[in-house]
Structure 1
C-alpha cells in the first residue's frame, strides 16, 4: 500500500509540483485549501480527480492555518504518513503591510500542525518550508550553521516556525525537519514575485499590452533555482533516515538586474528601454545578498541541481511568451527535454 501525504499550500507553485511528484511515486495525496468565493486551483486542475472515483489519488480539504481545530481534524481523520507544510503568507514585501497576519499564519500555523501531530500521531513525518530569508543580513554564503539575521516580518515568522520545529523534534522526538530553501522559480511562480513579474511583463510588452516594467531594488542578489528540483529536495528530506535541517540551493548568486538583462536579451530587447524604477517596490529593510551552500544536502540526500540561472530565465520567458499567444524562442523547452527526459510534472 502506498504512502499518504498531506500538503498545505497545495495550490501554490511548490505545492502543485510536489503533488505531481508524490502522485508519480504512488502516494495518495491530500491538500488543504482555503475556502474562498472564487477558485484558486489552476495549478492543480490537471491532476485533480473526482473524490468519488474509486481510483482517485488526490483529495482536497477546506482548512485554514489560523484554525487549529480544522487542521487537527484533518490530520486525525486522514492519518497521513507525511505532512509537507508549505502554506504561508509568503510574499516578503506584503509582510511589511500585514505583519500580524503574517506572524499568525506563517509562524503560528506551523505550531498548530506540530501540536496536532504530537497529540494525534507522533510517527507522522513533518516537513517545514523554511526560507533563506531567515538569514537576512548574515554574511554569505549561508549554510545550516550560519546565524539568522531576519530583515522582514515574513523572515521573523519563518524563523519562529524553524525553531518550533527544532523544539518539537528535540523535545517530543518528532520526525520534524526544516528545508531551508533558497529562491526557486518556475512558470508557476506567483505573478507578483520578481522573477515572474519580469518574464510576464516582457511578454506583455512584446504583445503591446504595456510599455514599461516598474521595478524596485535592482541590486539585490539572490540564489535562484528551479522549483521542480527543489520539491524533490523536500521529498528527499523526509526519506532521510533521521530528521534534520537542510539547505537547498544552487550556490550561485545573481542580481535582479542580471535577471532583467538576460530575460530581455533572450527576446532581442534592451532592458534600458523598458525598465523604470518605482520607490514603492523597495522594502523598508533590504536583504542584499543570499547565496546558499547545499553541500550537506548533496552529501546526505544525494540532491544536486541541474538547472542553471541562464536555463531558468529561458524556461520562464518561453512559458510566459506562450501563455500570451506569442512565438517562443524555444531554448527553454529544449533545456527541459534534455535535462528531464522523463519529467514527472505534467503542466507548463
Structure 2
C-alpha cells in the first residue's frame, strides 16, 4: 500500500486529492496546523480515511516529525496562503508560508531520504500567478516568470527551489504550474465562489447585490477535481519535471457572471453587480491562458469538466446550500 503525505489538506485540492489517493488504495496522511484547527472536522467528515498529523510549514522540526510518522512514498506540498489579495496585506507571512515553507518541506524530504534522494517523490503546487505580466500567450513551462503579487513572488521562489533541489540532489521533485481551478469546495473569499454564493442568494431573495473588482480580468478556469489527477500523474513519471496544467481556454469575470445568472434565469445582471475599487489589485494580472500540451502528451491528462459545466456545478451546489431553512433564516 503506497503512502502519501499532503500539506494543505484542508483546501479544495487537498480534499479532492485525498479522495483520489484513497480510491487508488493509498494510505493518506494530512498535515494540519494546530490541534484546534477549525477545518479539522471538515477533513474528518469529508475524507475519514485520512490520518491527520500536526505540523507547520514554517517549522522544519514539525515537518521532520511528520515525515517520520507517515513514512511517505509521495509528498504533495499544497499548503500555502493562497488568497492572492491577502498577500498585499501581509507579504511577510505569505513569504514565510508560501515561499520559505516550500524550502522547509523540501529540506524535510531531503533529510528523511538522505540515503536515497529519489526515495520520496515530491510535488510542489506552483501557480499560474507566477506568470503575472505575461510574456507569452499562451503560457508554457519555459515562459518567463513575471509575478505581480507577493503571492506570485513567493510561488516563484518555491518553484525554482523545487527545480534546484531536483538538480542539486537528484530528488524526484515536480512542479505543477496549475492555472485557476475551482469547485464547490472553493473558499467563499475567491471570486468564483463569491459569485456563485451571491447569485444563489440573489435568486432566492436573500440579498440584492454583489460587489466585485475588475470584471474584464480573464482566466483559464478548470475543475479542481481534474487538476489533482494531473498531480498524481506527475508523481508516477520516471523522473520529476514541471508541467503546465490548464484548459487552454480563457474566460472573463463577465462570462462567469453571464453563466451564473443565466442558471437562475436572470438576464440583466448588471443591476445586481457593482464594481468596488477595494477589490481591484494594486498590480493586475489581466490575461492568463495555459498551454497544457506537455501534460497531455507526457501525462495523458485532459480535463473532463468544461467552463459551463464548472459554473453549473458551483451554482447547483450553492443553490442547495442557500435553500436550506437554517441558511434562509440566518
When normalised by structure 1's length, the TM-score is 0.89
Within the alignment, does 1:205 sit opposite 2:197 as a pair? no
**Could you say which residue in structure 1 is the equivalent of 2:328?**
none
Is the Cα–Cα contact under 8 Å of residues 13 and 43 in structure 1 kept in the other structure? no
Within the alignment, does 1:313 sit opposite 2:305 as a pair? no
SS of the residue corresponding to residue 109 of structure 1 reads helix
**Could you say which residue in structure 1 is the equivalent of 2:138?**
141
CA deviation map 1:57-81 (0-9, x unaligned): 4200111111111011111232100
Is the Cα–Cα contact under 8 Å of residues 211 and 273 in structure 2 kept in the other structure? yes
Shift >4 Å, 4+ stretches: none
**Could you say which residue in structure 1 is the equivalent of 2:154?**
157
Within the alignment, does 1:125 sit opposite 2:121 as a pair? yes
The Cα of 1:307 is off from its aligned counterpart by 1.1
* 1:1-348 matches, cutoff 5 A: 2-35=1-34, 37=36, 39-41=38-40, 43-49=42-48, 57-121=49-113, 122=117, 123-138=119-134, 139-269=136-266, 270-325=268-323
User: In 2, Cα distance between the equivalents of 1:42 and 1:285?
Assistant: 37
Is the Cα–Cα contact under 8 Å of residues 54 and 66 in structure 2 kept in the other structure? no
User: In 2, Cα distance between the equivalents of 1:6 and 1:157?
Assistant: 22
User: In 2, Cα distance between the equivalents of 1:150 and 1:39?
Assistant: 31
SS of the residue corresponding to residue 323 of structure 2 reads coil
The Cα of 1:39 is off from its aligned counterpart by 2.2
The Cα of 1:286 is off from its aligned counterpart by 0.4
User: In 1, Cα distance between the equivalents of 2:168 and 2:110?
Assistant: 11
CA deviation map 1:257-280 (0-9, x unaligned): 110111111211121121001100
The Cα of 1:35 is off from its aligned counterpart by 1.1
CA deviation map 1:155-213 (0-9, x unaligned): 00000000000000000000000000000000000100000000001112123222100
User: In 1, Cα distance between the equivalents of 2:246 and 2:30?
Assistant: 26
Deviates more, 1:29-38 or 1:212-221: 29-38
User: In 2, Cα distance between the equivalents of 1:271 and 1:312?
Assistant: 19
User: In 2, Cα distance between the equivalents of 1:186 and 1:221?
Assistant: 18
User: In 2, Cα distance between the equivalents of 1:195 and 1:41?
Assistant: 24
RMSD: 1.2
SS of the residue corresponding to residue 148 of structure 1 reads coil
SS of the residue corresponding to residue 4 of structure 2 reads strand
SS of the residue corresponding to residue 243 of structure 2 reads strand
Consecutive unaligned residues in structure 1, runs of 5 or more = 50-56, 327-348
When normalised by structure 2's length, the TM-score is 0.94
SS of the residue corresponding to residue 165 of structure 1 reads helix
Q: How many residues align?
A: 318
SS of the residue corresponding to residue 187 of structure 1 reads coil
**Could you say which residue in structure 2 is the equivalent of 1:333?**
none
Consecutive unaligned residues in structure 2, runs of 5 or more = 325-330
